[in-house]
Structure 1
């Protein structure tokens, strides 16, 4: 079954859900800063992470084959990534066997060698790979998790990420991951405020719900060690992405200085190689690839196999928010807890805040992925306008 076209389309607009929603009890934690990030040391951008992060819109990636079947996936980072698909990778994959996902992934990675298969190129590879897996499921008439080998469990247990832990506990989540508010530029006062944030969350959720802390590449080794020591009384399940993603030497030093604290990272690692290195050198306890960034399902399977053989946990970045992540978590052995990011205001039902039609949301902290063929995303993508027109 040969690929006849690979193209990008514009997604329909989604209404924003804010504090003016009739069920909202208060504004979402996303409505205001600060949240520690790599730019925290620059006052112009320190107060609010969205003041500098990319604003390129999401788009759809379509892979079509001879009989008219279309695979669909959502791509990220707009024009730059769509251009890699439309101008470079897409034309060079036309004529390939659409069901040969390993071959197509390998070709895409190798074709990106002149400029590197990481970063924005990896987002493009991810979109194509996920669209191919969606197409494979549709051709075979099965959900992707069945094509992967069948469900490894009956449902997915989720933890919630966001700054409203009292609401997440009310929704039935058994774990909450907090956005860390302050970084090294905030000094001792920032450490005290971070500890106070975790202490308040512990008071809200009690002792039977796990607490994690997302540090989003904002720290250095020394700051991470000092904060971890201060947080000991609150039993933080893991500290996440404390260091710049590419600084593997600092990851090794942090592991040496914090042997007792579980560490997690990997959402900003691309392809298989950095995960292989992290496992071989025991840099972290938990790997967190993002299925829409790392290259898709094809490299995620390899990462999970490497981790399982070494006894390292895999808990992908925000898989509960996409059909792609949900099917991967259900169909690949070795994936643990499923993260679900919550950006809507407390009081608004998760199902109402969801943006992708056909993608289930957690009920009492658990998700059952769609059993429809492919990923089950209910979008008639063939009727959408071209993205780069």
Structure 2
């Protein structure tokens, strides 16, 4: 029985393992200049550029090594608080435990973190370790993680693209796309009009046979979300997403009651299974969107999927197609009907040049099939992982 012999955690760059894209872009990406509504938009000096107020801590890499020398690798965000949480609290208590006991190890971490809550930043720490453990488990057992958790559920994952370069998404073959919302309550009626105009132009561009969604990124209140949804009703949105701040659980219920006809998605900023249980029990959303590297890792998402599937609610993880971790979940779970690909790089750069890891798949004509290498099929060596350090 292999046991955990070491857990190393370190900051990583967000750069791709293979280096920057080689292809020259046609134009700059929307991601660098577009105004995106958010929770700080009510404060004028933070409104135009959301990078001003978001955390600047690096990403986190977590390397778990077993007694037989096999290793697994996981990632998350927010190195500042997350690295010491793993390094000085979680890791020392997991050394010597059965490396394959993913359920037990996840339960231990959730309970170890209980004095300061397993939710929030602790969930990021748990996610990194859990993903590394699943990668390790797949390598030891010689199976891709998607097979260990019961897949495949479908021949390929249908994907949608998120971002402001909708014409590029269509050229890449996506059959569904999601817009970032540019304006919120602080922009008043003119902003509401501009939001409506953007969605109308986009629907005209993509036609009726492409799904269209709208990401509101915690920027709205209930009243504004209702007014916006009523304005956009003629344009056939599949859902509006993350309208409220994540703690506003009562607001989610109010929004559901006031918009019974509108598709609602949320959960990107919920952590660990309990808030998803609350949402599923009250049917406040049609789509739940945990992030596999934030919400508690693969083990947490398997529990969330079970909760949601029993309630007839889809689970479409936040940016799930941008990492092998989310890809394996989406390929295996019957209740995950689509996968999200956040497209932040500039138009003209092939998706093949945006891989986070050498072995990860990318959507082709809107569909994605993860590879079948053991673990998450990262295709990365220890040298590759070392190169991710700042």
Q: Secondary structure at the match of 1:346?
A: coil
Q: How far apart are residue 237 of structure 1 and its match? A: 0.7
Count of matched residue positions in the alignment of Structure 1 and Structure 2: 387
SS at match of 1:271: coil
Q: Deviations over 1:109-158 (max 9, x none)?
A: 00111111111110000000110000000000011001112311111110
| Residues 310 and 13 of structure 1: CA distance in aligned 2, closer, same or farther (over 3 Å) | closer
Question: Which segment is superposed worse, 71-80 or 322-331?
Answer: 71-80
**Residue of structure 2 equivalent to 1:103:** 104
Deviation string for 1:185-225 (max 9, x for gaps)? 00101110111111111121111101100000000000000
- Give structure 1 stretches of 5+ with no counterpart: none
Counterpart of 1:283 in structure 2 is 284
- CA–CA separation in structure 2 for the residues paired with 1:319 and 1:40: 27
SS of the equivalent of 1:251 reads helix
Q: Secondary structure at the match of 2:63?
A: strand
1:12: how far off? 6.2
TM-score normalized by the length of structure 2: 0.95
Pairing 1:208-357 to 2, within 5 Å after superposition = 208-357=209-358
Q: Any idea what SS the aligned residue of 2:337 has? A: coil
Give secondary structure in 1 for the equivalent of 2:114: coil
Structure 2's unaligned 5+ residue stretches are: none
How much has 1:314 moved relative to structure 2? 1.2
- What TM-score comes out, normalization by structure 1 length? 0.96
The equivalences for 1:153-172 within 5 A come to 153-172=154-173
Give the direction of change, closer, same or farther, for the CA distance of 1:271–1:10 in structure 2 (3 Å limit): closer
Is the contact made by 2:63 and 2:72 (CA closer than 8 Å) also made in structure 1?
Answer: yes
**Structure 1 residues 382 and 350: CA distance shift in structure 2, 3 A:** closer
> Is 1:10–1:386's contact at 8 Å kept on the other side of the alignment?
no
Q: Does 1:141 align with 2:142?
A: yes
Aligned mates of 2:196, 2:209 — CA distance in 1: 19
* Closer/same/farther in 2, CA of residues 142 and 81 from structure 1, 3 Å limit: same
Structure 1 position 33, deviation (Å): 2.9
Distance 2:216 2:130 in 1: 29
Distance 1:164 1:171 in 2: 11
- Counterpart check, 1:74 vs 2:75: yes
Report SS of the residue matched to 2:115.
coil
Q: Residue 10 of structure 1 contacts residue 384 of structure 1 at CA under 8 Å; is this kept in 2?
A: no
Report if the CA contact (8 A) 1:329-1:335 is conserved: yes
The verdict on how the C-alpha distance between 1:386 and 1:349 changes in structure 2, with shifts beyond 3 A counting, is closer
Residue pair 1:159, 1:340 contacting (<8 A) in 2 also: yes
The 3-state SS of whatever aligns with 1:250 is: helix
Structure 1 runs (4+) greater than 6 angstroms displaced:
386-389
For residues 316-362 of structure 1, what are the alpha-carbon distances to aligned partners after superposition, in whole Å with 9 as ceiling and x for unaligned?
A: 11110000000011112211110000001111111112232211111
Q: Aligned with 1:172: secondary structure?
A: coil
C-alpha distance in 2, partners of 1:89/1:99?
17
- CA–CA distance in structure 2, aligned partners of residues 167 and 82 of structure 1: 37
Shift of 1:22: 5.4
Name the structure 2 match of 1:88: 89
Q: CA RMSD in A?
A: 1.9
Q: What residue is the counterpart of 1:113 in the other structure?
A: 114
